[in-house]
Amino acid sequence: MPDQPLSRRAATAVTSSARQMLRPARLLIAGKTALAATLAWVLGGLLPGELGQFSYYAPLGAIIGIAPSLTSSLKSSVQTLVALALGVGVAWALIMSPAPAWVAVPLAVGFGTVLAGYGGLGAGRDYVPIAAMLVIVVGGRDAEDFSWGYMVQMGFGALLGVAVNLLVVPPLREDDAGSAVGGQRRRIAGVLRDMAGALDAEGDAPDWETSLAEAQRRTDEVSDAVRDARETRRANPRARFSRYDFDEDVDDLRVLGRASRHLGALGDVLRGGGGEPALLTEAGRDARHTVAEAMRASAELIDEWDGAQHGSGRPGKGQGIERPHTDPAMRLPAVGASVDETTGGGADSGTAGGDAAEPARLDALREVLARIRPGVDGDPFEPLATARYVLRSLAEDVDERMRAS
C-alpha cells in the first residue's frame, strides 16, 4: 500500500483548499464583489452620453476595487487606473503615427509590456498592454469614444468597489491571523510527535520528514497571513472597536520561527549526515525512547500554549492569560534509572530539576532531558547531546513566550 500516504496527503490538501475557499471571510468577499459588480453594471449604463454604452467595463472595475483590506482596495484601484492611462497613451501614440494596424498592435503590446515592468504599478501592471491593445483593436475608428468610455467606466466601477468594501462589513481579518498562528503551533507539536513515534517505532514509522517539511514551508505563509490581517486594520472603522493585539501574534511568530529552526536541527540529528551518526539508527532503544519522551513532553508544552491562547480569546496586551494548574509536563512518568548501553555515565546535574525559581511546567521536562546522557567511556555521543540541547532550547523559548503573554 505504498500509495496510501500519497492519497492521504492529496485528500488532506483538497480538504484544506476547500476550507480556505469556503471560509466566511472569503464568502463575504465573494458576496460583496457580486454586489459591487451588479451595481456598477446597472449604474454604469446611466452615465450620460456615449459613456453609458460602455457599461460592461464597470463590473470589471468593481472587481478590481474589492480587496481583502480597504487600503489594498484603494491602492489596487489607483494603480489600475494609472496603468490604463499609460496603455491608452501608448495606443494613441501609435494611432497618431503612420503605422498600419498590423504593426501598431504588436508594438502596442510590446511597449505596454515594457511599461508594465515599472514596479509602482503593482497589481495594475497587466492592464498597460491590455488597454493599449483594446483601444487599437476594439476602439478602431471610434478610438476616442472607446478610450473615454473604457477609462471612465473602469474608474466608476473601481470607485463603487471601494465604497462597497468600506460600507458593507469592512474586512477585519483578525480570526485569520489567530487561526494561522494556532495552526502553526499545532503543526510544530505534530512534528515533534511524529519524530517521537519514529524513534519508538519497531515497524512502520510516522512520516516525520513530510510533516517537518510542511511545517517549515508554512512558516512564511503564516507570517504573510499575520501581515495581511494587520493590514486590514488600516483606515478601517471597525478597528477602533477591536481589542485584538497583533503585537502578540508577531511575538508568537518569532518564537514559532525559532521553533521551526529547532525542528530542522532535530531532523538533522535524527537522519544523521555530515560525519555524525544518525540518532534513529545508531542509538539504542532505551536512549531513543528517552529522547522520544522528551519530544512528546515538548509537544504537550506547545499544546498548553495553544490551548491557553484559544482560551484567552487573544486578549490585548497586558490583559494576561490565566494558566491551568495541572501542567502537561507534570503528567510525565517519574525519572527512571534505566539507560541504554550507548549512554554510560551519570546524569547531567546541570539540567536535573532546573532552577527552583522557575515555573513547575519545565521541571518534569528537565528531568526527562537529564536522562539523555551522552557519553560512552568519555567519548560523547554527539546526536544525544545535540537533541538534549535543542529540546531544552525549544521548551524554554515556548515557556518564556507563555509567561510573557
Q: Looking at residue 1, what is its pLDDT?
A: 37
Q: Looking at residue 274, what is its pLDDT?
A: 63
- Ranked by mean pLDDT, the top range of 34-48, 282-296, 344-358 is 34-48
* Predicted confidence (pLDDT) per residue in 138-168, tens digit: 988 889 999 999 999 999 999 999 999 999 9
Q: Looking at residue 173, what is its pLDDT?
A: 80
* DSSP string for 11-67: HHHHHHHHHHHT-HHHHHHHHHHHHHHHHHHHHHTTSTGGGGGGGGGHHHHHHHH--
* Predicted confidence (pLDDT) per residue in 262-289, tens digit: 998 888 888 876 666 778 777 778 888 8
Q: How confident is the model at residue 37 (pLDDT cuts 50, 70, 90)?
A: very high
Per-residue pLDDT at 319 exceeds 70? no
Return the C-alpha cell found at 313: 480569546
Q: Which amino acid, residue 108?
A: A
Percent of the chain with pLDDT over 70: 78
Q: Which amino acid, residue 200?
A: D
Find all residues with CB under 8 Å of 293, minimum gap 6, and list them.
196, 332, 333, 368, 371
* Predicted confidence (pLDDT) per residue in 332-352, tens digit: 333 233 333 333 333 343 333
How far, in Å, CA of 254 to CA of 260, rounded? 10
How far, in Å, CA of 88 to CA of 92, rounded? 6
Q: Looking at residue 273, what is its pLDDT?
A: 67
Q: How confident is the model at residue 40 (pLDDT cuts 50, 70, 90)?
A: very high
